[in-house]
Structure 1
Amino acid sequence: MEATVFVESEGARLAVFESGDRSAPTVVLVHGYPDTHRVWDGVVPVLAERFHVVTYDVRGAGASSAPRGLAAYRLPVLARDLFAVVAAVSPDAPVHVVGHDWGSVQAWEAVTAPGAPIASFTSISGPCLDHVGHWLRDRRTGRRFAQLRHSWYIAAFHLPFVAPLAWRYVVGPRWSTIVRRLEGVTSHVSPTVARDGVHGMALYRANFVPRLRSPRERRTDVPVQLVRPTRDRYVTPGVIEDVERWASDVRRRVVDAGHWAPVTHAGEVAALVADHVTAHSRSS
């Protein structure tokens, strides 16, 4: 699929892809790390039967440009990227946002912004970092270390020189084999993954320490659906157990899947998204 349009946002050129009826409610799907919009390939055609479906390559990934410097990858900038895409594809109506992994992390930033043009949000395997920061302060040491143990790679990404070189020349070229063996995922790895993985490390470096060290109050009245893959190797259930503290309308769903549920369980994920979107569409 070729980009429908390129959207300019804060020094980045974002490749945007559209499917379905543009007069239907708009659903924007935001991918995570180290993926591109192709992670949604199994979800898009199911949703496009009923909705206007939009995906885009986030900055630093796929066909989008990769600005230099950590400041270009901070959460407020990523939220403004999403708002720029929304303004381009649905200027007259709020959209329904779905995020996976880092796509969900950055979407939380947008969802918790006052006046966000977002009608509903489905979060898959990507918590709000500010919520996690508060959670880490409030929870027992055992719970904290359980998540930290699952997040060992984040510390590795902060290693200067070593981490980018290891990803570009060792991990990236073998990423397809790695995720196939660990997760049973075979269809979504981009040919740009070695490059994208290096650029995407800026997401972790620009945001994790500041947000966990000094978490902000991030609240929302946008209806939130939390989809938790029960076999996720990287995100533990604890980091989303306090979401009701920050969001006024929360529904919880589980999928018997690993971290890449949008790939391995695309039909089930699409059904959950469609249900949530329908429940919160003006036409419903």
Structure 2
Amino acid sequence: MALMAMPNLTNNMVNQNKKETTMHPQIHTVQTSDHQFLCAKTWGKPELPALVLVHGYPDNQEVWEPIIHELINEFYIVTYDVRGAGESSIPKHIRDYRLERLSLDLEAVVNQLLGHRPFHLAAHDWGSIQTWESVTEPRFKDRILSYTTISGPCLDHAAMLLGDEIKQNPVGFLKKLSKSWYIAAFHLPLLAPTVWQFLTAKQWAKVLSGLEKKSNLPLNHNIAKDGKYGINLYRANFIPALTKPRERYAQCPVQAVVLTRDAFVSPDYILKEMPKWVDQFEYVELDANHWAILSQPQTIAKYIAGFAQRHPV
């Protein structure tokens, strides 16, 4: 019996080794149009369909590695540390974190690493918020094949929803506002950046484990820096979006992964507002909290891959 089982065991080991050997990325430096430098990585075989993954706050590109492990045999994957995070450079001015600039960063990354190839896009949290700027930008039409957004609405869409609810449903407005208490805190000049300096990777891991109800999640050893400088994403963009929201229409099919226990983002931003701005819109619901990309990477990877495969080149 044991001898008969050996070939299957050997095949499984070979397949696992194949996946592990491709989990060593090539590392690239991308210069942006305003002379910042972004640390980017490419994973897998270039002949496969291209997939770009953009991380949120307070993360860096390493947060995607559990999902990359699931998708590396199906896609040529591009990740990068957004400005101010990971190994990328840190801009001096808050205005350097504006959405328009972040969209140009994505464009610089894909132009250097993918040339003129079209690509699929998936993003989480602030990665989603910032890539909505590209998804709704006409120059990306036919370049972005599909977009999977996780816990990150378009700020313009969110501002319009809040404006409607202030008038029509004040109670609903206050409920959404209560989930977003941290946004106001992040605008405090000294307190918010200082707090991050005292947070260790293990302490942050405990926070995530408590939210996701799952232990041994990957550590972010750069959390103090990522948290401190990423605050500028909020400071540069929230007030302009709330005071002067723009009409922004998606240029590609969009899939939203709705996390039903998300502690920070209301599902209403997705289910009520997105269909107004997206011609080809789908959504799936997942019983998870905000960092499902860490706690349920296999499920998230399945959603990303399935949607991309329904929208090939």
User: After TM superposition, is the score higher than 0.5?
Assistant: yes
Aligned to 1:61: 85
Structure 1 residue 167 corresponds to structure 2 residue 196: yes
Structure 1 residue 132 corresponds to structure 2 residue 161: no
For 1:191-202, what aligned pairs fall within 5 Å after superposition?
191-202=221-232
Structure 1 residue 77 corresponds to structure 2 residue 101: yes
Cα deviation for residue 170 of structure 1 reads 4.8
Cα deviation for residue 255 of structure 1 reads 1.2
Cα deviation for residue 92 of structure 1 reads 2.4
Secondary structure, in 3 states, of the residue corresponding to 1:5?
A: strand
Q: Report the count of equivalent residues.
A: 282
Residue identity matched to 2:156: D
Aligned to 1:7: 30
Q: Deviations over 1:231-272 (max 9, x none)?
A: 111001111121111111101111111111111110011111
CA contact (8 A) 1:75 1:106 kept: yes
Equivalent of residue 300 in structure 2, options 269, 275, 278 = 269
CA contact (8 A) 2:200 2:223 kept: no
List gaps (5 residues or longer) in structure 1: none
CA contact (8 A) 2:54 2:122 kept: yes
Residue identity matched to 2:128: S
Residue identity matched to 1:16: A
CA contact (8 A) 1:62 1:190 kept: no
Structure 1 residue 229 corresponds to structure 2 residue 267: no
Aligned to 2:11: none
Residue identity matched to 1:157: F
Which consecutive segments of 4 or more residues in structure 1 shift more than 4 A?
170-173
Aligned to 2:311: 280
Q: Deviations over 1:156-175 (max 9, x none)?
A: 11111111112212587732
Residue identity matched to 2:239: V
Equivalent of residue 108 in structure 1, options 132, 135, 157 = 132
Secondary structure, in 3 states, of the residue corresponding to 2:198?
A: helix
Q: Deviations over 1:204-254 (max 9, x none)?
A: 000011101110111123100010111111001111121111111101111
Aligned to 2:176: 147
Q: Deviations over 1:152-195 (max 9, x none)?
A: 11111111111111221258773222222233364333211101
Q: TM-score, normalised by structure 2?
A: 0.86
Percent identical = 41
| Residues 14, 192 of structure 1: alpha-carbon distance in 2 compared, 3 angstrom cutoff | same
Cα deviation for residue 94 of structure 1 reads 1.2
How far apart, in 2, do the equivalents of 1:103 and 1:251 lie? 19
Secondary structure, in 3 states, of the residue corresponding to 2:263?
A: coil
Aligned to 1:89: 113
Secondary structure, in 3 states, of the residue corresponding to 1:122?
A: strand
How far apart, in 2, do the equivalents of 1:211 and 1:50 lie? 37
Residue identity matched to 1:243: M
Q: Deviations over 1:133-165 (max 9, x none)?
A: 111111221222111101111111111111111
Structure 1 residue 25 corresponds to structure 2 residue 56: no
Aligned to 2:147: 121
Aligned to 2:185: 156
Q: Deviations over 1:97-133 (max 9, x none)?
A: 1010000000101111112121110000000000001
CA contact (8 A) 1:179 1:186 kept: no
CA contact (8 A) 2:25 2:44 kept: no
| Residues 186, 59 of structure 1: alpha-carbon distance in 2 compared, 3 angstrom cutoff | farther
Structure 1 residue 213 corresponds to structure 2 residue 243: yes
How far apart, in 1, do the equivalents of 2:221 and 2:193 lie? 17
| Segment drifting more, 194-203 vs 162-171 | 162-171
Structure 1 residue 243 corresponds to structure 2 residue 274: yes
Secondary structure, in 3 states, of the residue corresponding to 1:130?
A: helix
List gaps (5 residues or longer) in structure 2: 1-23
| Segment drifting more, 166-175 vs 199-208 | 166-175
| Residues 152, 185 of structure 1: alpha-carbon distance in 2 compared, 3 angstrom cutoff | farther
How far apart, in 2, do the equivalents of 1:200 and 1:172 lie? 16
